[in-house]
Amino acid sequence: MSHRETLRELMELHGGPGFEEEVAHRVKAAFARYTDDIRVDRMGNVIAHIRGEGASPRPRILLSAHMDEIALVVTEISEGGFLRVWQAGGFDPRTLVGQEVVVHGRERLTGIIGSKPPHLTTPEERRQAAPLEDLFIDLAMPEACVRERVTVGDRVTLRRETMDLLNGRIAGKALDDRASIAVILECLETLRGLRHRSDVLAVASVQEEVGVRGAATAGHALNPDIAIAIDVTFADMPGQAPDESFKMGKGPAIAFGPNIHPKVFRGLRDAADRHRVPYQVELTQGPTGTDARAFQIAREGIACGLVGVAIRYMHCSVETAAYDDIAECGRLLAHYIAGVTEKEVAGLSCY
């Protein structure tokens, strides 16, 4: 199966912060093609260990892509059996109206986030976007049936079939950040054909969307020499700032800034130049909203890199990416890893 197909499957699986098991299961199966050393840690991070060549100690490079997606959680079953919700991760409530969702109760239920038809709304109402607290999920069943199947605290995820668009582009939910899991898989595939001294710790991390929590404990536990977070970034859209608008199909974005070790940045950029991987540079000015934020300050500090593909409509159910960018990002990482030497690792503390 191609990794594009794996990605399609991963996107349609359900797993929000703290309930990533279903996604984890599929990710383990995908990683199994490259190693049998796969484990799940206490927080639920999936960790695959791919050994490098030669005697230990070898450089250890961690790659992480978070497998959780933004999700909702039931806060109340109100009269009539309608569900009120809160969020785990940041939704734009305006994108939720009319959305199909899956409610993970005693059984899997399909629900609709209701909206008042235009015939019944006043002009003032139409001028205002409803906040999340005012939205409700309709399960189309009587309250008693709902109460048998749903409890406060049950999770809710978006429901969306993955779609192929023109030019190899792919659209659906949870591209953030399952696209980056596909990047890791593409990387491992390329890496099979390369010689590499470094051990690779491929991590599908949990709970990124609620504050990079899985990365915090994985960084501490694994304590690699280099940690590279792979996360999606913003593709260009009208009205966005020029330094936050990357082109789809023009290769991965390599991040630069205080959160990124300058030598890891240069290593990634040089690998891209050497192997003709198209890339864009993303400038950041502080801790990034990615796993790299936690990795950098784990223990005595870890040298971080950050790469990712640009997607449109982040945190909607129709996130869109160019698969070529995913494949190229994987290729970039593989060549970077193959080029890392002990000497380089030793030099990371030399400023």
Partner 1 sequence: MLLKRLTEAMGPSGFEDEIRGVLREEVEGCVDRVYTDVLGNLICEKGVHQPGPRVMLDAHMDEVGLMITHAEENGLLRFRPLGGVDPRVLVSKPVRIGEDKRFGVIGAKPIHLQKAEERRKPLPLESLYIDIGARDRDDALAHVRLGDVAVFATRYEEIGVRCAKAKSFDDRAGCAVLVEALRETHPIPVYGVFTVQEEIGLRGAMAAAYRIQPDIAIALEGTVCFDVARAPGHGQGTVLGRGPAFTLQDGRTLADRRFLEFLVHVAERHDIPYQFRRVKGGSNDFGAIHRTRAGVVGGSISIPVRYIHAPAQVMSLEDYENTVRLVRAVLAELAKGGFQA
Partner 2 sequence: MTDIGGLKARILHWAEVVAPSGSEGQVREALLGAIRAAADTVRVDALGNAIATKAGEGKHVVLVAHADEPGVMAIHADEQGFLRLIAIGDVPAEALVGRMVQFTNGVTGVVGVESRVKPQDVGFEHLFVDVGAASQAEAQRLVPLGTAGVVQSPVVEMGPHRLAGRALDNRAGCAVAAEAFLRLAAMGRKVSVVFTAQQAVGSRGAGTAAYQLEPDLAIVVDAAPAGDMPEAPRMALRLGQGPALKVMDGTAVVPLDVKHHLEESARRAGVEIQYEVWPRGQSDAGAVQLSQAGVKVGGVSYPARRSGMMQVIDLRDLDAAVRWVVAAAASW
What is the amino acid identity at position 215?
Answer: A
9 is catalytic: no
Residue of 132, 137, 140 whose CA lies nearest to 82? 137
Strand partners, 113: 137
> CA-CA distance, 131 to 154, in Å (whole number)?
20
Pick between residue 131 and residue 286 the one whose CB is nearest to partner 1: 286
Pick between residue 148 and residue 273 the one whose CB is nearest to partner 1: 273
Query: How many CB atoms sit inside 10 A of residue 55's CB?
Result: 5
Q: Under the rule (CB under 8 A), what is the footprint of partner 1?
A: 241-243, 256-259, 261, 281, 283, 285-287, 296-297, 299-303, 348-351
Query: How many CB atoms sit inside 10 A of residue 314's CB?
Result: 17
Pick between residue 166 and residue 350 the one whose CB is nearest to partner 1: 350
Pick between residue 93 and residue 287 the one whose CB is nearest to partner 1: 287
Strand partners, 311: 234
Residue of 347, 245, 228 whose CA lies nearest to 288? 228
261 touches, from partner 2, partner 1, none (C-beta below 5 to 8 Å by class) = partner 1
Asked if residues 304 and 319 have their Cβ atoms less than 8 Å apart, the reply is: no
Choice among 208, 209, 282, 319 that is catalytic = 208
5 touches, from partner 1, partner 2, none (C-beta below 5 to 8 Å by class) = none
19 touches, from partner 1, partner 2, none (C-beta below 5 to 8 Å by class) = partner 2
Range 144-163, binding partner 2 (CB under 8 A): 151-153
Nearest distance in Å: CB 240, partner 1: 12
Nearest distance in Å: CB 297, partner 1: 5
Nearest distance in Å: CB 235, partner 2: 29
220 contacts partner 2 (rule: CB under 8 A): yes
Alpha-carbon separation of residue 228 from 32, 101, 159, 247, 266 (angstroms) = 21, 33, 30, 22, 13
> CA-CA distance, 288 to 234, in Å (whole number)?
13
> CA-CA distance, 318 to 325, in Å (whole number)?
18
If residue 56 lies in a helix (H) or strand (E), which one and from where to where? Answer: none
What is the amino acid identity at position 289?
Answer: G
Pick between residue 87 and residue 233 the one whose CB is nearest to partner 1: 233
74 contacts partner 2 (rule: CB under 8 A): yes
Nearest distance in Å: CB 121, partner 1: 34
22 contacts partner 2 (rule: CB under 8 A): no
284 contacts partner 2 (rule: CB under 8 A): no
Asked if residues 229 and 306 have their Cβ atoms less than 8 Å apart, the reply is: yes
DSSP single-letter state for residue 235: B
Pick between residue 88 and residue 254 the one whose CB is nearest to partner 2: 88
> CA-CA distance, 221 to 87, in Å (whole number)?
28
Range 241-260, binding partner 2 (CB under 8 A): none
* Positions that interact with partner 2 (CB under 8 A): 17-19, 21, 41-44, 73-77, 84, 86-88, 133, 151-153, 207, 210, 213, 216-217, 220-221
Instruction: Just list the catalytic residues.
Output: 208
